[in-house]
Chain A
Amino acid sequence: DVKVTQSSRYLVKRTGEKVFLECVQDMDHENMFWYRQDPGLGLRLIYFSYDVKMKEKGDIPEGYSVSREKKERFSLILESASTNQTSMYLCASSLLQAAGPYEQYFGPGTRLTVT
């Protein structure tokens, strides 16, 4: 069974702290993604990675960085957390196949509150 896990379901951090969100998948997927989910804004792509040590910016990368040192693990880093980064963060993974399937499998999400 497909499995994507995230390190925390709930996280509370202070403004200015460095925050690490971790995602692990056990499906040997090449692609991994980080989204943030806010009411009325849908799922917005922050960064994605298609291979170890490879990354591409999504639509809203400002204030975030990522790390992928191993195929199964993709970390999202908030260098200096701010209150406008309070959100639900979702990780996802998918196969890298030119002809599909393209299904993305999501983790349970981390609800981050920055105070």
Chain B
Amino acid sequence: GENVEQHPSTLSVQEGDSAVIKCTYSDSASNYFPWYKQELGKRPQLIIDIRSNVGEKKDQRIAVTLNKTAKHFSLHITETQPEDSAVYFCAAKRSRRALTFGSGTRLQVQP
């Protein structure tokens, strides 16, 4: 089955700096890669996703890049703000229906 590894497990940045979270996946057939954000005490919510036929996608301060050859994808957050502090999960779509999630990255933005 699919295996998704996520690094780092924790990340602390100064407000205004950029943050990068990286994930690798094992199943070359995976074709959809979402990122979820979970604020403290809240449910995970989708913030951005990318399909395997696209190399990069941006949405304001967040972007995701995908390297299918190397089987890795990354989340980039620019100009970080305190409200970006949360746990971020990457995932890969392993079948017609199910996702496999990474272990999560706790991002802390220091004001």
Number of A positions contacting B (CB below 8 A): 26
Could you say which of B97, B100, B103 contacts A96, with CB atoms under 8 Å apart? B97
The closest CB in chain A to the CB of B103 belongs to: A42
Could you say which of B32, B101, B103 contacts A100, with CB atoms under 8 Å apart? B32
A102 to B91, CA, bound (A): 12
The closest CB in chain B to the CB of A33 belongs to: B98
- Within the complex, the shortest CB–CB distance from B37 to chain A, in Å, comes to 11
Q: Which residues of B contact A96 (CB under 8 A)?
A: 96-97
A56 to B93, CA, bound (A): 15
A41 to B104, CA, bound (A): 7
- Within the complex, the shortest CB–CB distance from B22 to chain A, in Å, comes to 15
Q: Are B46 and A45 interface neighbours, CB within 8 A? A: no
A101 to B97, CA, bound (A): 11
Chain B residues at the A interface, C-beta cutoff of 8 Å: 1, 6, 9, 32, 34, 42-46, 49, 51, 89, 93, 96-104
Chain A residues at the B interface, C-beta cutoff of 8 Å: 31, 33, 35, 40-45, 48, 50, 56, 58-59, 90, 94, 96, 98, 100, 102-104, 106-109
